[in-house]
């Protein structure tokens, strides 16, 4: 429920300390509250047991803790769990827990809907309704960590920003969420276990490099031929591959972090030698690796998974040029939890 009280999680550590000082209490109370919020992930002032009852009641009177609720859970035969997440204003996004051997990966959403128009993606069919706040992204991670402990007996190990939305179009909140996840005052996870996936917005890739981020970058390339890319991702008319490449060069110079290209091979779209050679050339420009991902049909007739031979041909040419590559099988397909399938279908929205 939306509350008229101020969301305490909008306050920085400094602001919380200031708040307590002004009340004549010790500033370290602010640090204690911060730890409850961002290190332990609690959603209730009453759970903050190292504060006096009076302080807890006072906080409750003045603040709220807006938080997500896992509204519905679907489990795939392969162990993948898809969550429908109810936000404080009633909107819904999805997050996915993907168990792989001894690891658990959380795939989180960054926007309600998406403003981009990738023709092969189910989320793109939903208009962008709003950006998620940092805490709404953080909460998805905490919820999946809890699920991982309950169902698989281990904590969450990796996070991918590959759910609904374009993370770079919600730059500040996405980076703030990563700060809370990686900071020692927050969950303390290594940024090397986090991957942000973007459709490739050059200006914002540069900004991340300038901001010296330490997480991994994945770019949804799908074609290194400009005309083809524009056909399947129409917004790319504004972002030519030459600009993308410049931005990626800059990223590598600043971060020394190898880029992952996500790439789906479709029949009659990019399954020929022209596209294979273009990809190999593109990959040679900046240290990178390629994830060839399986297409998850979303009911678009124009898009069909390419043949196995075409995918093998891609692998052959990439490997011959010493470009690391792998074929990533879809997970959670039976519950529409795979890449590009997140569209709040279960709720019929």
Catalytic residue IDs: 94, 339
64 is a site residue for ligand SAH (CB under 6 A): no
36 is a site residue for ligand SAH (CB under 6 A): no
- Window contacting ligand SAH (CB under 6 A); options: 82-90, 147-155, 271-279, 288-296: 288-296
* C-alpha distances out from residue 139 to 9, 16, 26, 231, 338, Å: 11, 20, 28, 36, 21
Closest distance of CB 8 from ligand SAH, Å: 30
Closest distance of CB 17 from ligand SAH, Å: 36
- Out of 51, 181, 232, 264, point to the residue binding ligand SAH (CB under 6 A): 264
Nearest to 43 by CA among 25, 18, 68, 15: 68
139 is a site residue for ligand SAH (CB under 6 A): no
48 is a site residue for ligand SAH (CB under 6 A): no
Extract the runs of DSSP E, i.e. beta strands, from the chain.
Answer: 6-7, 63-64, 69-75, 81-86, 92-100, 103-107, 111-112, 130-131, 158-161, 194-198, 216-220, 259-264, 288-293, 325-328
- Window contacting ligand SAH (CB under 6 A); options: 50-58, 96-104, 194-202, 246-254: 194-202
What number of chain residues touch ligand SAH (CB under 6 A)?
Answer: 17
- Window contacting ligand SAH (CB under 6 A); options: 7-15, 38-46, 76-84, 292-300: 292-300
Nearest to 82 by CA among 109, 103, 100: 109
The two three-digit tokens of residue 281, written as one number: 């050339």
Nearest to 158 by CA among 214, 107, 218: 107
Decide: helix, strand or coil at residue 293: strand
105 is a site residue for ligand SAH (CB under 6 A): no
- Out of 106, 162, 201, 283, point to the residue binding ligand SAH (CB under 6 A): 162
Closest distance of CB 120 from ligand SAH, Å: 5
Contact 112/132 with Cβ under 8 angstroms? yes
94 is a site residue for ligand SAH (CB under 6 A): no
Q: What is the DSSP string of 58-86?
A: HHHHHEE----EEEEEEE-TTS-EEEEEE
296 is a site residue for ligand SAH (CB under 6 A): yes
Closest distance of CB 299 from ligand SAH, Å: 10
Interface residue list for ligand SAH (CB under 6 A): 118, 120-121, 162, 166, 197-199, 220, 262, 264, 293, 295-296, 298, 339-340
């Amino acid at each position: 429920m939306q509350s008229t009280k101020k969301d305490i999680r909008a306050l920085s550590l400094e602001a919380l300390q200031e708040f307590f000082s002004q009340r004549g209490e010790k500033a370290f109370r602010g640090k204690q509250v911060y730890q409850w919020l961002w290190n332990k992930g609690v959603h209730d002032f009453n759970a903050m047991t190292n504060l006096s009852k009076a302080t807890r009641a006072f906080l409750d009177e003045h603040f709220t803790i807006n938080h997500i609720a896992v509204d519905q859970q679907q489990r795939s035969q392969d162990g993948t769990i898809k969550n429908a997440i109810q936000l404080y204003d009633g909107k819904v996004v999805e997050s996915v827990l993907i168990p792989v051997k001894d690891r658990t990966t959380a795939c989180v959403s960054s926007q309600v809907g998406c403003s981009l128009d990738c023709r092969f993606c189910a989320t793109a069919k939903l208009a962008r309704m709003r950006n998620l706040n940092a805490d709404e992204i953080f909460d998805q991670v905490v919820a999946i960590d809890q699920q991982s402990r309950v169902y698989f007996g281990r904590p969450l190990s990796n996070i991918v920003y590959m759910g609904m939305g374009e993370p770079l179009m919600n730059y500040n909140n996405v980076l703030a969420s990563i700060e809370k996840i990686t900071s020692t005052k927050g969950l303390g996870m290594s940024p090397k276990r986090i991957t942000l996936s973007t459709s490739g917005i050059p200006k914002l890739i540069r900004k991340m490099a300038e901001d010296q981020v330490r997480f991994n970058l994945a770019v949804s390339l799908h074609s290194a031929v400009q005309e083809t890319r524009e056909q399947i991702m129409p917004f790319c008319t504004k972002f030519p591959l030459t600009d993308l490449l410049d931005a990626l060069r800059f990223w590598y110079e600043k971060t020394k972090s190898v880029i992952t290209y996500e790439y789906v091979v479709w029949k009659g779209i990019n399954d020929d030698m022209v596209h294979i050679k273009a990809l190999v050339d593109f990959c040679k420009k900046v240290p990178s690796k390629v994830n060839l991902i399986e297409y998850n049909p979303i009911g678009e007739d124009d898009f069909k998974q390419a043949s196995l031979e075409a995918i093998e041909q891609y692998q052959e040419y990439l490997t011959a040029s010493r470009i690391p590559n792998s074929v990533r099988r879809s997970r959670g397909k039976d519950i529409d939890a795979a890449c590009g399938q997140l569209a709040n279908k279960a709720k019929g929205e």
